[in-house]
Structure formats: C-alpha cells, structure tokens
Amino acid sequence: MVRQLKRITAIINLKSLAITALAVISMLVCQRYGLEANFPLTLVATAVIFPIVFSIGGAYKRREAALQDYGEIKAHGRAIYFAVRDWLAERDPALEAEFRDLLGGFLRDCRELFVHPVSEMDEAERAVYRRLSGLSKAINGLREHGLASGEVSRCNQFLSKMMISFETLKHIYQYRTPVTLRAYSDIFILLLPILYGPWFAQIAGNLSGGVQFVMPVLMSLILVGLDNIQDHLENPFDQIGEDDIVFNAEKFVERLEL
C-alpha cells in the first residue's frame, strides 16, 4: 500500500495541485466575468502532449541503452576476474582479491559519479579513470604471474569494452533532453490550463453539482502527470524514480566469489 501511494505521489505532486488550482481559479474568474470561448483541444496536443510524449520515448530509449551498457560492464568485468581465477597455472587468492577490489571499486566510483549533478562530476570522473588505470596496470602485471601475452591481450580487450560502455553511460548522464525543449514544455504546462479558462467556463455552463470542475482538474493532472513521468525517466541514475538503474557494486563483488 505504501509503495502504491509513493508511485501515485510521484505523478500527482505539489506541482500538479498548484496548476490544478490555477486552472480552477481561471475558470471561476471567467465565469464571474462572462468570458467564454470554444478553444480547440488540438492546441493542447500539439503544444504540450506531443513534445512530452516524444521526450518520454527518448528518455525510455536512453534508459534501455544504459541498461545494456551496464550489463556489458558487469559481463566484461566478470570475464576479467574469471581469467585471473581460472587461466593461471595456480590460483592466487591475493591476486583474485586485488581484482575484486578493483572491479568493485570501479562500480562504486561509477555510482558515485552518476548519482550527483553533472556540475559536480569532475572529481568523481577522475576517480573512475584512476580505477580504470589501476585495472590496466593490474592486467599488464598478469604476465609476471605466468599468463600468456595473448591471454593478457584478451583481458585488455575486455577492459576496452568496459571503457566503451562507461563512456556511453557518461554521455547518457551528461546529455539528455535538450534544455530548450524542457523549458518549452514547462511554460505551456503552466499557461495552457490557465488560458483555457474561457473554454472551461463555456463547458461549465451546461454542468452542475461540481461536475464543472472535472475538465480543468483532469487537464491539469494529465499534463503535469506526463511531465512528472518524463522528469523521473530523464535521469536513469539519480535514484529518485522507481525505475532508476542501481549500480549494485557490493552484490557484483559477492557474486564473483561464487
């Protein structure tokens, strides 16, 4: 029950209530002064709903791409660890522990980078690159433990693919829906429920018993609800929305030991 309420409040929040209140006030003012008009609903679809739905689709595709890259990072990291564990003539527990720490640290550094605003990414990004550098040096050091050059090269290929996936994730984190499109949607979500006051007033003339409030409330909740959905999908890493991607470094390291 609590989880369901949390999901509802993620869509219907204070912004929804504020814009709904403005729409109702606009309708009442128009009724008071006899302002009525028959505005086309296609304006709402063109100005707000289409851009928001387009943004939601783009945000969903970015999330799916990020999930794929996250999976590739884990898969190639696991392949590196298995190479350290299984390709040497004799197992080296200390070496295995070193790679577990490096791989787990890399995921923790990624998590630290992506949960903070882009404006604060500089130091966290440096930490990720330092961890990748440490992995590269550790892989090169496998030669001293008897791993053939060809196998070391293969491990470096795994690392290279991890870096490609990380760079893709970083760009998804940095570059999302254009700021101008977000500003455009925000402006019209605020203005349209208010500007449609004369239309609400015209419809309300044929209604009674509180039913006249249905249209301004419904339009406001739909517009702001779509905007809230888009906002939660916008950043798949910030751990605010229920569908965000979680970098579970601890579980990854735990599974390496199986």
Instruction: Specify the DSSP class assigned to residue 211.
Output: G
Single-letter amino acid code for the residue at 12: I
- 3 is written with which tokens? 């989880």
CATH 1.20.1440: which residues of the chain? 55-176
C-alpha 40/C-alpha 25 separation (Å) is 20
- Pair 237, 115: CB distance under 8 Å: yes
- The CATH class of 55-176 is mainly alpha
145-173 per-residue burial string, b: 16 or more CB within 10 A, e: under 16: eebeeebbebbbebbebbbebbebbbebb
Contacts of 95 (CB under 8 A, 6+ apart): 84, 88, 145
Residue 33 in this model has a pLDDT that exceeds 80: yes
75-116 per-position pLDDT tens digit: 999 999 999 999 999 999 999 999 999 999 999 999 999 999
38-61 per-position pLDDT tens digit: 998 888 888 889 999 999 999 999
C-alpha 129/C-alpha 253 separation (Å) is 20
Model pTM score: 0.87
> What pLDDT score was predicted for residue 140?
97
Average pLDDT, the chain: 92
- Pair 226, 52: CB distance under 8 Å: yes
C-alpha 246/C-alpha 114 separation (Å) is 10
